[in-house]
A and B are shown apart, each in its own frame.
Chain A
Amino acid sequence: MSRPAHDRADQPGIRLNINGQSVDAHEGMTLVEAAWQAGVPGITNVGCMEGVCGSCRVMMRRDRQVTVGLACQTFVENGLDVIFLPAASASRHFYDIADFKDSWDIHARFHGIFPEASRCRHCHGCVQSCPKDIKVEDGVALAASGRYREAGEIFFECVMCELCDVACPELIAPAHVGLFCRRVTAHFHLRPPNLISRIEELRKKREEADGNDKGEE
């Protein structure tokens, strides 16, 4: 049985850098906890602290190797250099899903909205940057070939940290491609009979009630 990581006092001390500040921490602490304990200013890009909101994006350097990740899911290491990244800049890909009336032209629409998606140069930057180990590149390829349902499934665990958007040299915005695929799949193909019947039943009831009201007037 492994020993639980609970008692910090007798854990070995660890020294690392966060936003340029030298920080002392204990084994088992996350980067968020270490930054707070040391009073590193301005650590406000933090949300759920369980890895589902994608807010606490960090860039890390170990010797000459540079990686990205989520600070609430990464534990302190000796000599680690950490920079908390600002939130992603606004998306450059605009669409209103309410404008999508006809699913037959969706392929043309997709390439109109995301013209870069077919220009993937397979650099794997998106895959390496993903803290959720999503096969981002495969998802983008499926989307570009019009297989939106399958592509969306690949992005199921996406937490919208948008680190893949930053990593992409072609500005494909893979996270938003993934979400587009998931959204059009629901928008066009989710037509559950049990829900539709109940909605219709309630509509009829309202109609009857309105009719009765008018009769009494």
Chain B
Amino acid sequence: MNKGIPLQEALAAYRPDSDPGQVSPMTDADSLLSEFHPDHLRGSVVKLSVGVNSGDSCQRDLASLLQTEAFIDEADLAGVPVIDADVLVIGGGGAGCAAALMAAEQGAKVLLATKLRLGDSNTVMAEGGIQAAIEPDDSIQKHIQDTLRGGHHAGNPSLVASMAEDGPDVLRWLINLGMQFELTPSGDLQTRRAGGMSASRLVYCRDYTGLEMMRVLREAVFQHRSIEVWEQSPAVELLSNEFGLKCAGAVLMSLADGQKRIVRTRSVILATGGLGRLHLNGFPTSNHLGATGDGLVLAYRIGAKLTELDSFQYHPTGLVYPSHLSGKLVTEGVRAAGALLINGKGQRFVDELQPRDIVCASILRECQEGRGIRIDDERKGVWLDTPRLENSQPGLLERQFPNLMSRTRGSGLDPRTQPLLVHPTLHYQNGGVIINSKGATTVPGLFAIGEAAGGIHGRNRIMGNALLEIICFGRRAGIAAAAAAKRDRGPKKVTLEHINQLRRALTLAGMPLSRRAPEILPSYARGGLWSR
């Protein structure tokens, strides 16, 4: 596929005052999506043949990870030090920290293990805000309806109701921990309305909501006397009881020296986030380095049921260059402020404020049909016409989008004079591990929360529900896991029986045992970790 207009040619032809034409109204959204959205790419979805989701549709790259050999077997565990904890939290983003804090509040001895540094997560990068129905003209019911509708009615209504009902109390909890939000002059929480909301419901802290949330949670976790934190300690396998039926701990492996440690526990909370760094279907991603879907792999192997494994959110406007920012987001706010999307021929091709999946599919159509702008086979895109926006409202970019301006500064790119080359970028895993309203999975002793969990956002998440979800279900799972740990006398034996069962199933299904998972880090960042 060498089609497309070469970059230099497109740049030379670009004029911020040209006539971009009109877009015709969207007639057949379904066929656009089925032809061009990455979820529907031919050959990108396969049926799982091993495990509890056998027969279900799953994205191809993810399926090959879910059905792979483990890193370790029982021989590797001989002589490995064993540590006991009431609750083990795997993952140090917003969800993991909320769960650890609540479990510790209940009196549990908590170990929080995280692959990178505490706080390294997609939470810290969230700009937009967090949803909670607090305005007089809004209601919990409206929040529930908007979330279900946004998810194409594939979400679990009882989970959605739990989340929406918790919204106001989640904000109170965060404020008590010391998180700040924007206020109106009269001291109310400032709200705004974003795509898919029937009322003004997004509360925020400038365009650094996730950073403000994460640094407060991180500090609270570090300060807590009953929470021990292990950084650079990814989980490479869960442990089960002697029947392979209940989660009884995990095996952690240090990134620094490859040393393994066994954590024996009564409750495990998976808060490992999403999988953007798997670059599904070859897409760039907006995600942080650790988002390699480890939690899905571990949960699936021990028998937890997953959902919506073929549904991912691709954000329409990821940067194509400068290349160190490849895949990083240009916030939807720029389009909301009036920026147009323009193809290589200088023409508009979609109403820029359509839902994310529609805009994404439209951009991919332009690129595939030769109207995109092309750097090479890997890098194509369309213009996000920031100079035209700046000309119509001088000073707007500096004033409203300081984050964008400071990111592009220093790389010879000025969005005020040069349009931004953008392409859809892998942003969010809509599905995940099936949970109940306490965050419990289908496997006793195992909880899952945050982006790793599924069932809330259906097949499309609306803005601001991710930050709410991680705190809501993080707190619920923390309480439930601590309570379960009190009832439970702990495992008699920790084994890898579920891995033995997996190996038999893989062999029976004729699957190769050559590849190993979880990924831990994307291949380009893996140099010299430990020998595999």
Contact = CB atoms under 8 A, between A and B. Distances in A.
Chain B binding surface SS class: loop
Interface in A1-58: 1-8, 28-30, 32-33, 36, 39-53, 55
Given A28-B322, A39-B528, A97-B178, A50 B224 contact: no
Contact of A87 (B117, B216, B290): B117
A36 B288 CA distance: 15
Interface stretch (B130-138, B440-448, B473-481, B502-510): B130-138
Residue from B178, B288, B525 with most neighbouring chain A CB atoms (10 Å): B178
Chain A binding surface SS class: loop
Interface in A160-217: 160, 176, 179, 182-187, 190-195, 197-199, 202
B24 interface: no
Given A47-B289, A95-B223, A182 B180 contact: yes
Nearest to A88: B117
Contacts of B418: 1-2, 4
A157 to B, nearest CB: 7
B33 to A, nearest CB: 29
A65 B411 CA distance: 23
A45 B117 contact: yes
B321 A41 contact: no
B134 A6 contact: no
A5 B325 CA distance: 11
B119 interface: yes
A126 interface: no
B375 interface: yes
A59 interface: no
B113 to A, nearest CB: 14
Interface string B118-152: 01110011000000111110001000000000000
Contact of B323 (A5, A46, A90): A5
B413 A191 contact: no
A6 B328 contact: no
Interface residues of B, number: 77
A72 B134 CA distance: 38
Contacts of B183: 190, 192
A1 B417 contact: yes
Interface stretch (B48-56, B73-81, B164-172, B362-370): B164-172
7 contacts: A40-B528, A46-B525, A47-B119, A53-B117, A186-B180, A190-B181, A202-B140
User: What are the 6 closest A-B residue pairs judged by CB atoms, nearest first?
Assistant: A41-B528, A183-B178, A47-B120, A39-B527, A6-B321, A194-B188
Interface of A: 1-8, 28-30, 32-33, 36, 39-53, 55, 72-73, 75, 87, 90-91, 94-98, 152, 156-160, 176, 179, 182-187, 190-195, 197-199, 202
Interface of B: 7, 11, 116-117, 119-121, 124-125, 132-136, 140, 165, 168-169, 171-172, 175-181, 183, 186-189, 191, 206, 208, 210-212, 215-216, 218-220, 222-225, 231-232, 255-256, 288-290, 321-325, 328, 375, 379, 407, 410-414, 417-418, 421, 521, 524-525, 527-529
